[in-house]
């Protein structure tokens, strides 16, 4: 039985814990005495406790995040009652800042704040050793500090064959962020530190040799250092195979010609760029200490859509200090004109440790006290309007970002109209009809969209039905769509794509 269990609760099975694999890789001589135990937040806490206790560990290390802190707390409450002798060590962003008074911290023996790659092994060595005085001297909360990346063992060998076949593989070529956006935890980690490129690419080759196809880079600013980003893109392009998919977060206003040349070569939909725009309002950008050149940003997004097959996922945030719904809507319309395949509308979250709290008094910022700590209201967006925006975001994800209605979406607004205002009207109508934002079956959503188009928007039934059937028939294996008030068209064979399923629905729109 292992002495050390590295555990966390993932949001879904498809996600794999990058942090646990780093901890395992850097345990040194203790690696043979440890195991990784991953769970999901929808599992019964009792089952998780049973699985952990069945391993009979002496130490359990839990990775704690905004999406699992509630469930992990429940697990720890029972674990402490049943086996108080097990030493519990916590780490992760949710317990790295403002940890005082957190119930989950009270349940732990020790908390490691920051990047614990090397520190966790050091703590385990003391806890499993024979020096009782050293064990008693260990503080409750220990800052890890920034590890020297040359000393950090890369974790990629700890992705298993089932991981490679069924899960997202997270990778990183660098850590840190040069920007100081006040809503983001990366603003607290300003130095950008890069892993040795040769060693990193060697690890990527190892994953490719084992059959890996999907790589999600977690670097905050992948395109910050041009020679490195070009070398990584060229590495994957030279080894491209059917079914590969790459995801990068990029600085939206930095896309020099050398980088443009290489990204033109990738197959359509096989690479996704996540572009954090957040706001187009200059005063709001200043409030949150965000720097970006909107002219270059707009030019870059148009280039990506018009001259490449890159799948663009752009982010906007509702609730930033100083921006009201009208301002957000203008920014949303501006972004729609640039044509990204996905616009992720997020509600501002008050992450522990972020300096966004300096605006609380002036802008009357009120956040939910429970994870994920989303904005409830502020000076410029009262609660009921924030609820409308929350529904707008959810329905936009279901209708637009999903790719299920890529062609149909354009029928919701006429040329010259505001996409934001028109979709908000649809969102209000949809909520009045369904009274819910989740657990909406796709055929139910399709019928509601058809009824709105043919009723409120005045789109002819045959036009709406034909367009929706074009969208519907792109996905292999779907049952035929039956729309009340329209004839059902024949299915057509969908085109093949190298992109992921969600991205593929946008590629063939």
Q: Residue ranges per domain, the chain?
A: 4-147, 168-381, 402-509
Q: What is the pLDDT of residue 268?
A: 93
pTM for the whole thing? 0.92
pLDDT tens column, 24-44: 999 999 999 999 999 999 999
Long-range pairs of 237-242 with CB within 8 A, sequence gap ≥ 24 = 237/262, 237/265, 237/266, 239/205, 239/208, 240/266, 240/267, 240/270, 241/213, 242/498
Instruction: Give 40: exposed, middle or buried? Use CB within 10 Å, 0-12, 13-18, 19+.
Output: middle
Encoded tokens for 491: 């299915």
pLDDT tens column, 56-66: 999 999 999 99
Kindly state the average pLDDT of the residues 226-233: 96
Q: What is the pLDDT of residue 497?
A: 47
- pLDDT higher for 499 or 408? 408
- What's domain 168-381's architecture? Alpha-Beta Horseshoe (3.80)
* Helix/strand/coil for 52: helix
Is the previous residue joined to 266 through a cis bond, with omega within 30 degrees of 0? no
pLDDT tens column, 83-94: 999 999 999 999
Q: Distance between CA atoms of 200 and 195, rounded to whole angstroms?
A: 7
Beta carbons of 153 and 25 less than 8 angstroms apart: yes
Angle between helical axes of 419-434 and 383-396 (0-180°, round to 10): 90
Secondary structure tally for the chain: helices H, strands E: 19, 16
Q: Distance between CA atoms of 62 and 90, rounded to whole angstroms?
A: 5
Pairing of strands 245-250, 169-171: unpaired
Q: Distance between CA atoms of 410 and 392, rounded to whole angstroms?
A: 16
Beta carbons of 312 and 342 less than 8 angstroms apart: yes
Question: Would you say how long the chain is, in residues?
Answer: 509
What is the per-residue DSSP string for 336-370? HHH--SEEEEEE-B--TT-GGGGGHHHHT-EE-SS
Kindly state the average pLDDT of the residues 277-293: 95
Reply yes or no on whether the pLDDT at 492 is more than 70: no
Q: What sections of 255-324 are H helices per DSSP?
A: 257-263, 282-287, 294-307
Q: What is the pLDDT of residue 501?
A: 64
As a whole number, the mean pLDDT across the chain is 94
To the question of domain 4-147 being in CATH 3.40.50.280, the answer is: yes
Beta carbons of 344 and 313 less than 8 angstroms apart: yes
pLDDT class for 6, splitting at 50, 70, 90? very high
pLDDT tens column, 437-461: 999 999 999 999 999 999 999 999 9
Instruction: Give 423: exposed, middle or buried? Use CB within 10 Å, 0-12, 13-18, 19+.
Output: buried
SS3 string of 450-504? HHHHHHCCCCCHHHHHHHHHHHHCCCCCCCCCCCCCCCCCCCCCCCCCCCCHHHH
Kindly state the average pLDDT of the residues 287-301: 94
What is the per-residue DSSP string for 69-99? HHHHHHHHHHHHHH-TTSEEEEESGGGTSS-
Token match 């663009």: residue? 312
Q: What is the pLDDT of residue 190?
A: 64
Reply yes or no on whether the pLDDT at 323 is more than 60: yes
pLDDT class for 187, splitting at 50, 70, 90? confident
Q: Which residue from 243, 152, 166, 169 is spatially nearest to 206, judged by alpha carbons?
A: 169
Reply yes or no on whether the pLDDT at 496 is more than 80: no
Considering only 157-171, 188-202, 208-222, which range has the smallest mean pLDDT?
188-202
Q: Distance between CA atoms of 134 and 115, rounded to whole angstroms?
A: 22
* Helix/strand/coil for 140: coil
pLDDT tens column, 331-347: 999 999 999 999 999 99
If residue 133 lies in a helix (H) or strand (E), which one and from where to where?
Answer: helix 132-137
Beta carbons of 146 and 313 less than 8 angstroms apart: no
- pLDDT higher for 498 or 171? 171
Encoded tokens for 286: 């200043």
Q: What is the pLDDT of residue 477?
A: 80
């Amino acid at each position: 039985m292992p002495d050390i269990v590295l555990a966390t609760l993932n949001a879904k099975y498809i996600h794999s814990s990058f942090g646990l694999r780093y901890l395992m890789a850097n345990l040194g001589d203790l690696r043979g005495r440890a195991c990784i135990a991953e769970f999901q937040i929808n599992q019964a806490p009792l089952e998780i406790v049973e699985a952990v206790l069945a391993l009979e560990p002496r130490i359990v290390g839990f990775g704690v995040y905004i999406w699992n802190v509630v469930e992990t707390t429940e697990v720890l409450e029972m674990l402490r009652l049943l086996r108080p002798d097990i030493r519990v060590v916590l780490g992760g962003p949710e317990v790295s800042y403002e940890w005082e008074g957190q119930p989950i911290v009270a349940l732990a023996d020790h908390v490691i704040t920051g990047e614990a790659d090397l520190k966790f092994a050091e703590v385990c060595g003391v806890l499993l050793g024979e020096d009782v005085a050293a064990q008693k001297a260990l503080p409750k909360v220990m800052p890890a500090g920034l590890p020297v990346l040359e000393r950090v063992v890369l974790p990629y060998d700890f992705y298993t064959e089932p991981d490679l076949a069924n899960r997202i593989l997270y990778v990183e070529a660098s850590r840190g962020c040069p920007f100081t956006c006040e809503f983001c935890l990366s603003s607290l980690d300003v130095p950008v530190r890069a892993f040795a490129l040769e060693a990193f690419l060697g690890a990527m080759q190892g994953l490719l040799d084992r059959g890996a196809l999907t790589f999600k880079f977690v670097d905050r600013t992948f395109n910050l250092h041009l020679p490195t980003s070009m070398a990584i893109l060229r590495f994957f392009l030279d080894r491209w195979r059917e079914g590969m998919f790459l995801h990068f977060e990029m600085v939206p206003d930095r896309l020099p010609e050398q980088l443009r040349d290489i990204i033109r070569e990738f197959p359509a939909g096989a690479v996704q760029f996540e572009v954090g725009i957040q706001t187009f309002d200059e005063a709001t950008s200043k409030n949150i200490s965000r720097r970006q050149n909107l002219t270059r940003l707009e030019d870059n997004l148009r280039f990506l859509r018009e001259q490449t097959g890159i799948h663009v996922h752009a982010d906007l945030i509702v609730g930033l200090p100083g921006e009201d719904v009208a301002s957000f809507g203008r920014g949303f319309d501006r972004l729609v004109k640039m044509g990204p395949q996905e616009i992720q509308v997020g509600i501002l979250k008050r992450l522990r440790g972020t300096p966004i709290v300096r605006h609380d008094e002036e802008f009357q910022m009120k956040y939910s006290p429970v994870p994920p700590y989303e904005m409830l209201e502020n000076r410029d967006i009262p609660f009921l309007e924030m609820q409308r925006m929350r529904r707008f975001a959810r329905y936009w994800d279901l209708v637009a970002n999903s790719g299920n209605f890529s062609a149909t979406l354009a029928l919701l607004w006429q040329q010259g109209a505001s996409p934001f205002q028109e979709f908000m009207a649809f969102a209000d109508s949809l909520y009045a009809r369904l009274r819910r934002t989740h657990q909406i079956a796709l055929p139910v959503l399709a019928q509601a969209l058809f009824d709105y188009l043919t009723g409120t928007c005045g789109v002819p039934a045959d036009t709406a039905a034909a367009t929706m059937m074009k969208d519907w028939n792109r996905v292999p294996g779907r049952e035929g769509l039956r729309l009340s008030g329209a004839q059902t068209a024949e299915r057509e064979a969908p085109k093949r794509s190298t992109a992921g399923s969600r991205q593929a629905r946008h590629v063939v729109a």
